Structure 1
């Protein structure tokens, strides 16, 4: 199985790539680890201790070290093929814990809302409201910090593995992210509810789809870069295949910090028709442009669907010949 890998020749290349990608990340860590509270006391009574947020620089370096060490220790050994899977799991652990703390923050927000609805002017209620508000601030700040660590772990993974980290059926957004990865179902739900925000980023929607056999990233990156030059605020929608052309396009989105929507197929619901149903969903999203790399009949049908709604997608040929495979 051929997978796209960014060319990284040695440790210096890895260090240079991480340095390049993290040139602005330090500011993100500083913002994510900032606090609006003087301190937080853990424990009760005399055993309570005052705590603060971790040092942002130490947190950033620790995340890099965790991911890089896995690859460094296993490189050039018979366990090297396992490094990418192990590192993927570490990033996924950051993601799961970040998601769990986001749920705790949501619960704290509901408690504040409930207290605001029952204001009675009493001192007891005022104390309860202040405590609930502090708890919400604590969990909000912690969620931002954990999401920032997850984002940076994913960035370190991409630098080492040569392709972006992504979790199955997951939307990766936080208040500190510069690039959003939106699960297609979340994007469709946000659109139905007419909500614009983290799950429905603003910008012209550009569709990308391609076959799983692609291994040469150059024509895809060239086409996407030229598209972004014309539509600098574009949102990229891929058909969410884990390898081949879609994986190359997602790597480009991560590199260029382009918001990404991954709209996969629901085979459990639609069976063999799932790919065609998904193509119809794409058309209803009113994309402004598209790039389709040669693949299966699903890609050919997507070209026809896009043309039926007035979009003339750029066609990329797998073998570099005339791009008329969808005619």
Structure 2
């Protein structure tokens, strides 16, 4: 910012809050970078030491520029279609490091748990236990920092390409390391509680499912907006596809800050998809949004309807390309049931 623009920016007291906000990191970065542990262990086997963290605003600025610089470089060029894939990899690199740190954190936590079961008198044992706890806390602090960077880069990814970032597998759980624990048992108890809250959202469940080929996002977003008014603390459970209707729902959830659980297909065999549908019904959803697709979608509609779940069903747009069928195949009874459903909105 030049001196002239700075003088103009603070010409009135009313401009000060806006200027301060522009030069200040968001709360997530302040929480993860702004209050580091007095002592930390940055490498396994090292002695505890006083190590600084990057400045919160600088960390946030760099994470944003990694994505926006790529967008500005490749936009409106022949490389533009490839830009989202390249940017996805940038976000995923933060996610990969955070996952690696979390696995190390889990191993140290298991070690602490085992040590607390065989408490021994003596300074050597107490020193080993304290070091293990400090190492676990240090890993939690590092993980929270990388999660903050990943989440901000993911937000910039969504702003540039209008699609939500999601990992190919696993969860994208975020937390902020703010605890200063009294002893090892309290540390493990609080850590377990924080982890459950991050990866097992407790809000009322809304099921969403649709085919991989679906482009009309406005009606879906409007319906999800209506549901969120009725269920402000909802958790959105999708069928986990990275494009089409599920991707549209994930983008809406990213904008609204709604937790998303990607309930994809697990296992092999023809019955795995129908087993998934049954498990979705067993979650006890309060509402469901279903987009017309294959017979699998029709089966999900029937399964949820038997459980008495209110369903908002969307017909396939008339000009949408019909899925290719085998020669001589006809519409199944399940597909016919879905198309004759009365609650299309």
Q: Normalised by the size of structure 2, how large is the TM-score? A: 0.75
Question: Which segments of 5 or more consecutive residues in structure 2 lack a partner in the other structure?
Answer: 1-21, 178-194, 320-336
Q: Name the residue aligned to 2:77.
A: 77
Corresponding residue to 1:314 among 312, 315, 333: 312
The within-5 A match list for 1:189-200 is 197-200=197-200
CA distance in 1, matches of 2:23, 2:252: 18
Change (3 A) 1:256 1:316: same
Q: Tell me, what secondary structure is at the counterpart of 2:197?
A: coil
CA distance in 1, matches of 2:102, 2:141: 10
Q: Name the residue aligned to 1:240.
A: 240
CA shift, 1:114, in A, is: 3.2
Residue deviations 1:200-242 (CA, integer Å, cap 9, x gap): 2111111111222321111000000001111111111111122
Q: Tell me, what secondary structure is at the counterpart of 2:199?
A: coil
CA distance in 1, matches of 2:32, 2:42: 21
Change (3 A) 1:326 1:209: farther
Residue deviations 1:178-205 (CA, integer Å, cap 9, x gap): xxxxxxxxxxxxxxxxx96333211111
* Higher RCO, 1 vs 2 (CA within 8 Å, ≥6 residues apart): 1
Q: Do the aligned partners of 1:300 and 1:326 also contact (CA within 8 Å) in 2?
A: no
Question: Which segments of 5 or more consecutive residues in structure 1 lack a partner in the other structure?
Answer: 1-21, 178-194
CA distance in 1, matches of 2:338, 2:119: 68
Name segments (4+ residues, structure 1) moved above 4 Å.
Answer: 22-25, 39-43
Backbone CA RMSD of aligned residues:
2.9
Q: Tell me, what secondary structure is at the counterpart of 1:236?
A: strand
Q: Do the aligned partners of 2:41 and 2:138 also contact (CA within 8 Å) in 1?
A: no
CA shift, 1:139, in A, is: 1.1
Q: Name the residue aligned to 2:5.
A: none
CA distance in 2, matches of 1:222, 1:320: 20
Corresponding residue to 2:284 among 282, 286, 302: 286
CA shift, 1:29, in A, is: 0.8
Corresponding residue to 1:302 among 300, 303, 308: 300
CA distance in 1, matches of 2:317, 2:25: 39
Change (3 A) 1:65 1:40: same
Q: Do the aligned partners of 1:74 and 1:83 also contact (CA within 8 Å) in 2?
A: yes
Q: Name the residue aligned to 2:339.
A: 325
Residue deviations 1:24-71 (CA, integer Å, cap 9, x gap): 97101111124453244779xxxx985211111111111111111111
Answer with 287-296 or 30-39: which moved more.
Answer: 30-39
Residue 99 of structure 2 is aligned to residue 99 of structure 1: yes
CA distance in 2, matches of 1:269, 1:59: 43
CA distance in 1, matches of 2:95, 2:81: 23
Equivalences, count: 284
Q: Name the residue aligned to 1:230.
A: 230
CA distance in 1, matches of 2:196, 2:175: 14
CA shift, 1:247, in A, is: 0.9
Q: Do the aligned partners of 1:101 and 1:143 also contact (CA within 8 Å) in 2?
A: yes
Residue 265 of structure 2 is aligned to residue 251 of structure 1: no
CA distance in 2, matches of 1:253, 1:85: 21
CA shift, 1:320, in A, is: 7.7
Q: Do the aligned partners of 1:280 and 1:305 also contact (CA within 8 Å) in 2?
A: yes
Q: Name the residue aligned to 2:324.
A: none
Residue deviations 1:287-321 (CA, integer Å, cap 9, x gap): 12111122222222211111111113011223389
Q: Name the residue aligned to 1:180.
A: none
Change (3 A) 1:35 1:110: farther
